[in-house]
Amino acid sequence: MKPLRIAVIGAGPVGLALALLAARQLPAAQVSLFDARRADQDVAGDPRTLALSLGSVQLLERLSAWNGVQAEPIRAIWVSQQAPVLAVPAFIGRPEVRLSASDLALPMLGAVIAYGALVAPMQRAWESLTAAEPTRLTSRFGMPVTALKDLDDGVEVDAGVVEGFDVAVIAEGGVFGDRGRQLADLASDYRQDAWVGTVSIEGGRRGLAVERFTRNGPAALLPLPCQDGSTRAALVWCVPRPLDDEHDLVRGLDDAQRLAVLNTVFDPDVGRITEVSPLKCFALGLAAQKSLVRGRQVRIGNAAQTLHPVAGQGLNLGLRDAFALAAALRDASDRSRVSPDLDAALSRVAWQRAPDRWALIAATDFLARSFTWSAPGIDTLRGVGLALLDRLPVAKHVLARQMIFGNR
């Protein structure tokens, strides 16, 4: 039987997860991992923040990729609506939803980790496997893939040198931009920008993740490990994209003004924000493929669906994609001793992942669009919805478990 040849394009957390899974669960398969960055480029110090649900943490634990990492557990979540134009009636309750890990009898709801703190050990684990089996597992760092071509029985990958593979998995991408919209089956520009950075909070509570709905868009604080006794959090601040810099709600503000505005955005119970780092700006939009699978090309993670950060589910969805795909390829290999039925396996994983993908795509798209609606009372309706959900514990817990574990 010819060995199954798999190309994994993208050495981020989702691509590395798939490469590690394929190497361990498909002992006869040949796996090549491609990435544009060089292997000696140190990613350990990459400070970008990743929010993981407990379900994703458990998947990474199965990969032995969570041992010894520096992450801050999320013990509680507080979602609230900034005071709307029309007040939410008092008998309904406060426009908020509060949830704690103890409510669900879980050790934590998720965790926050720096990109480099997760990717660097995963890359080292991959390099250890390739050193042990160099003829079966190959690293192609510093080799950007410039083209993919469908073949009758596979995919041709052009990374300076053209090679043929039985299946090519694209796991790179994630920034909403012109190229993402061109490749997507479904694309929408929310005309919003996300300003991201870190803040220090006086009187803050460790392990608390906060999301605040405002008329301009959602703002979130994700807990980070404390430094020098101060509570720190990653900030995601979404605002409408202006027609010019003069009307930008964030760009034209100095640090003192940003602090003042942020302390009005978040509820005083969060604590007082005392320091804000330099902020980076990213355009927000939706770019999604109708299916993960097209022939022998498979897109997973942000390459398949780039979502608005309002629900913080992009990486969680990508890891579930990777595990489902690896399981389908393993099962196909186990069922056929002559050759794996790749097409049936890929078709199965596309159908299996569809409900999870489209439920989150629809939910995040609806929430993101709601901040662009100008009809009066929208923010009040959102606040009423939060208040009612908080008063229905069964519904709240069902929704929470869906967000934590997804369909897997």
**Count of other CB atoms within 10 angstroms of residue 345:** 22
Is the model's pLDDT at 10 over the cut of 90?
yes
State residue 176's pLDDT score: 52
Cα-flanking dihedrals φ and ψ of residue 290, to 5°?
Answer: -65, -35
- pLDDT exceeding 70 applies to what percent of the chain? 94
Please state the rounded mean pLDDT for residues 317-333: 92
Please state the rounded mean pLDDT for residues 323-339: 77
Nearest to 207 by CA among 230, 223, 228, 184: 223
In the chain, where the domains are located: 5-185+285-405
Is the model's pLDDT at 220 over the cut of 90?
yes
- pLDDT exceeding 90 applies to what percent of the chain? 72
What residues pair up with 282 in beta bridges, in sequence order? 194
Higher pLDDT, 59 or 310: 59
State residue 174's pLDDT score: 58
The residues, any chain, with a CB within 8 Å of residue 92's CB and separated by 6 or more, are 384, 387, 388, 391
Task: Indicate the pLDDT class of residue 408, thresholds 50, 70 and 90.
Answer: low
Query: Could you report the per-residue pLDDT of 105-154, keeping only the tens digit for each?
Result: 999 999 999 999 999 999 999 999 999 999 999 999 999 999 999 998 99
What residues pair up with 96 in beta bridges, in sequence order? 80
Amino acid making up residue 300: I
Mean confidence (pLDDT) of the chain: 90
Task: Indicate the pLDDT class of residue 83, thresholds 50, 70 and 90.
Answer: confident
Is the model's pLDDT at 182 over the cut of 80?
no
Query: Could you report the per-residue pLDDT of 31-40, keeping only the tens digit for each?
Result: 999 999 998 8
Q: Is 69 exposed, middle or buried (0-12, 13-18, 19+ CB in 10 A)?
A: middle
Task: Indicate the pLDDT class of residue 334, thresholds 50, 70 and 90.
Answer: low
Task: Indicate the pLDDT class of residue 218, thresholds 50, 70 and 90.
Answer: very high
Q: Are 337 and 51 in contact (CB under 8 A)?
A: no
Nearest to 44 by CA among 153, 140, 119: 119
Is the model's pLDDT at 179 over the cut of 70?
no
Task: Indicate the pLDDT class of residue 376, thresholds 50, 70 and 90.
Answer: confident
State residue 123's pLDDT score: 95
State residue 370's pLDDT score: 86
The residue behind tokens 């669009």 is 369
Task: Indicate the pLDDT class of residue 245, thresholds 50, 70 and 90.
Answer: low
Is the model's pLDDT at 168 over the cut of 90?
yes
Q: Kindly list the distances between the CA atom of residue 224 and the CA atoms of 187, 203, 219, 230, 232, in Å, as whole numbers in the listed order.
A: 32, 14, 16, 10, 5
Task: Indicate the pLDDT class of residue 373, thresholds 50, 70 and 90.
Answer: confident
Q: Are 361 and 305 in contact (CB under 8 A)?
A: yes
Give dist(CA 326, CA 339) in Å, integer.
Answer: 16
Is the model's pLDDT at 76 over the cut of 90?
yes
Task: Indicate the pLDDT class of residue 339, thresholds 50, 70 and 90.
Answer: low
Q: Are 109 and 54 in contact (CB under 8 A)?
A: yes
Cα-flanking dihedrals φ and ψ of residue 284, to 5°?
Answer: -115, 140
Please state the rounded mean pLDDT for residues 347-352: 95
Task: Indicate the pLDDT class of residue 53, thresholds 50, 70 and 90.
Answer: very high
Is the model's pLDDT at 181 over the cut of 90?
no
Q: Are 158 and 147 in contact (CB under 8 A)?
A: yes
DSSP 317-336: HHHHHHHHHHHHHHHHHHH-
Superfamily of the domain at 5-185+285-405: FAD/NAD(P)-binding domain (3.50.50.60)
State residue 326's pLDDT score: 96
